[in-house]
Chains A and B, each alone.
Chain A
Amino acid sequence: MSLPEIVLWYLKDSLTSRRLLPAALLLAIGPAFALLFITFGFEPTEAYDGSVQLGIFSGSLLLLTIAHAGGIVTNEVTGRTISFLLTRPVPRWKLFLGKWIGAVTVTVLISLGSCILTAVICYGADVPANMLRRDLLVLTAGAITYSSLFALLSTLSKRPWIIAAVFAFFWESWVAYVPGDFRRLSVMTYLKQLSPHADLTQTESAFAPLQEAFQATPIDPMTCWNTLAVLTLVSLVIAVAIFSSAEFLPAEESA
């Protein structure tokens, strides 16, 4: 079975009615934010920035990568279907990469769709093309990087989604408030650096004085791209190596 066939199998599985509704809801987060922000009086630029940053980058993108990439191995183990896969003459690396590419594709399609809809809602026909292009590119990079990290978690833990959720929704936001270069340990820092958006919530934040006190030095784009690329590559290599050599038994039997 070839790599594209495994990817197609994953994509076809993602199109089942059971999965379409959550996908549609995740797709709608950004546009729904945009509609609400415009209704409540934000300027189109503010509404777009807020919707893309809060609804897509920090919302649907993370949730999609947790659900898809975080389940690459774990879903097979907890669903007890792993035995079917691991006793077939398909190299394990191919299975893993095929499912990973499938997960990234679904995440990218939904995130990009959400971003385009958000832009159309906020700007109508006058969407700033450069900005949208930049956001789509960075969203793709984010999807690839987070998917690699969470796919690695999937080979290591039976409940990667809890660890991924804590990482995505706690670490990734908390680390931004830590003084110095600590924030470089967050993927979102690089994504925000490549695709900066105004923070709508900052005006009411109790952390505002801290943020003002510790103005971070910008990271140049090349460093951002390189870091994301290295992170992706390293995570994937480790994940493939683990998946190729470790034992994965149906959940209740491995105890």
Chain B
Amino acid sequence: MSAVPGPPPIADLTYRNYDGPKALRPLRWWTITRSFIRTALRKKPFWVIFALSAMQWMMFALLVFINSQAQMLAEQAGAEPPRNVRLFDIVDTFANISDIWIWTFALALYVGAGAIAADNRANAIQVYLSKPITRSDYILGKWAGMAILIYAAQFVPMLFAMLYAALDAGFAEFMREHSRLLLDVLVVPAFAAVVHASLLIGISAMNKTPAIAGIIYTGIFIVWSALCQALAAAPAIAENARPTIQFLNPRGVISGLTFNFVGSRGTGPRFRELPLPDWGPLLALGLVLCVVGLALAIWRVRAVEVVKG
């Protein structure tokens, strides 16, 4: 009879993540996402920032209203042949209003700065990762929660503003004339959602304090943007590179991709026409930022607490 080898006399003290069956549900990360979203939706400041964010799209509706009033007055004046006196081009205005970044940024800070930092401080990651979910589930869950909230906070008011514009102009006519705008409404919010969520998750994972994570992200977002704005005007920069250089930062990636996708830089009437930035570099930088953010999160999220003393 051969002896069955027993456990080694010295215990294996290396750390392992949960290694049991993971049959909890097919989309394990969704559990984290759902909980993240629910927690955010329960907080009053979220709705305050959401309301502020929605206000810019109320402004869009107001401009559409001014347009229709101007048209009506022109028609009443009996201009022959009927002139199109619309003061604001709907696509330009859409691009312009989309470029108001502050509320989306504030909302991203509010929901994202503490996404992992708060768990770091409370040592909650150990609790999460002791359940049948993997580190990837955890990170993806948090990322998706953030991205969905940021996306929805732009998409919902944007959709209502667009519906208002469509109803104001006559639904069928608007759809015929601006069918592309529907796609814009669907896609444009995704740029900010993906960039903010990816970068914030990395920075949040690096910190134990949501405030510090938020301030670091603010610094990166603002200072980098200011630097690019200035560099775009530098004598050594070629004239044709200036419009793109200006956008080579997280804030610029969001705006630049939006402008490119919409096909307008949002220039108002009688304002100087500005050229669109190049797609390629912006998309490449956007991808790099997302990969770096997620890589930082993967690097820092660990199921063990490491203390130094």
Is A162 a contact partner of B222 (Cβ separation < 8 A)?
no
Asked if A165 lies at the interface with its beta carbon under 8 angstroms from chain B, I say yes
- In the assembled complex, the CB of B171 is this many whole angstroms from the nearest CB of chain A, namely 32
A40-B231, A63-B219, A169-B218 known; A161-B211 Cβ under 8 A: yes
Query: Within residues 58 to 76 of chain A, which ones have a CB less than 8 A from any CB in chain B?
Result: 58-60, 63, 66-67, 70-71, 74-75
A36-B227, A208-B272 known; A63-B236 Cβ under 8 A: no
A50-B230, A75-B211 known; A42-B235 Cβ under 8 A: yes
Is B102 a contact partner of A170 (Cβ separation < 8 A)?
yes
Q: B160-180: contact bitstring with A at CB < 8 Å (1 yes, 0 no)?
A: 000000000000000000000
- In the assembled complex, the CB of A169 is this many whole angstroms from the nearest CB of chain B, namely 5
Q: B100-120: contact bitstring with A at CB < 8 Å (1 yes, 0 no)?
A: 001000100110000000000
Q: A203-247: contact bitstring with B at CB < 8 Å (1 yes, 0 no)?
A: 110101100000000000000000000000000000000000000
Query: A74 to B210, alpha carbons, bound, how many Å?
Result: 12
Is A40 a contact partner of B236 (Cβ separation < 8 A)?
yes
* Residue in A37, A74, A75, A166 whose CB lies within 8 Å of B102: A166
Query: Within residues 220 to 258 of chain B, which ones have a CB less than 8 A from any CB in chain A?
Result: 222-223, 226-227, 229-237, 242-243, 246
Query: A60 to B267, alpha carbons, bound, how many Å?
Result: 31
Asked if A55 lies at the interface with its beta carbon under 8 angstroms from chain B, I say yes
Asked if A156 lies at the interface with its beta carbon under 8 angstroms from chain B, I say no
Is B227 a contact partner of A209 (Cβ separation < 8 A)?
no
Asked if A201 lies at the interface with its beta carbon under 8 angstroms from chain B, I say yes
Asked if A78 lies at the interface with its beta carbon under 8 angstroms from chain B, I say yes
Q: B263-276: contact bitstring with A at CB < 8 Å (1 yes, 0 no)?
A: 00111101110100
* Residue in A54, A59, A209 whose CB lies within 8 Å of B272: A209
Q: B43-87: contact bitstring with A at CB < 8 Å (1 yes, 0 no)?
A: 001000000000000000000000000000000000000000000
A42-B234, A63-B219 known; A162-B106 Cβ under 8 A: yes
Is A165 a contact partner of B110 (Cβ separation < 8 A)?
no
Contacts of A60 in B (CB 8 A): 223
Contacts of A209 in B (CB 8 A): 270-272
Is B222 a contact partner of A41 (Cβ separation < 8 A)?
no
- In the assembled complex, the CB of A214 is this many whole angstroms from the nearest CB of chain B, namely 14
Contacts of B102 in A (CB 8 A): 166, 169-170
Contacts of A36 in B (CB 8 A): 227, 231
Asked if A6 lies at the interface with its beta carbon under 8 angstroms from chain B, I say no
- In the assembled complex, the CB of B230 is this many whole angstroms from the nearest CB of chain A, namely 4
Size bin of chain A's contact surface = 35 or more
Is A40 a contact partner of B222 (Cβ separation < 8 A)?
no
Is B229 a contact partner of A204 (Cβ separation < 8 A)?
yes
Query: A79 to B209, alpha carbons, bound, how many Å?
Result: 9
Is B215 a contact partner of A33 (Cβ separation < 8 A)?
no
A66-B218, A71-B211, A166-B106 known; A29-B223 Cβ under 8 A: yes
Q: Which residue of A lies closest to B221 (CB)?
A: A169
A161-B214, A204-B242 known; A41-B235 Cβ under 8 A: yes
Asked if B291 lies at the interface with its beta carbon under 8 angstroms from chain A, I say no
Q: A31-49: contact bitstring with B at CB < 8 Å (1 yes, 0 no)?
A: 0010011011110000000
Query: A161 to B219, alpha carbons, bound, how many Å?
Result: 12
Query: A41 to B236, alpha carbons, bound, how many Å?
Result: 5
Q: Which residue of A lies closest to B237 (CB)?
A: A40
Is A206 a contact partner of B229 (Cβ separation < 8 A)?
no
Asked if A179 lies at the interface with its beta carbon under 8 angstroms from chain B, I say no
Query: A6 to B236, alpha carbons, bound, how many Å?
Result: 50
Is A55 a contact partner of B223 (Cβ separation < 8 A)?
yes
5 A–B contacts from the bound complex (CB under 8 Å):
A22-B212, A63-B223, A71-B211, A159-B211, A169-B222
* Smallest CB-CB A-B distances: 7 pairs: A40-B234, A41-B235, A41-B236, A201-B229, A170-B102, A200-B230, A54-B226
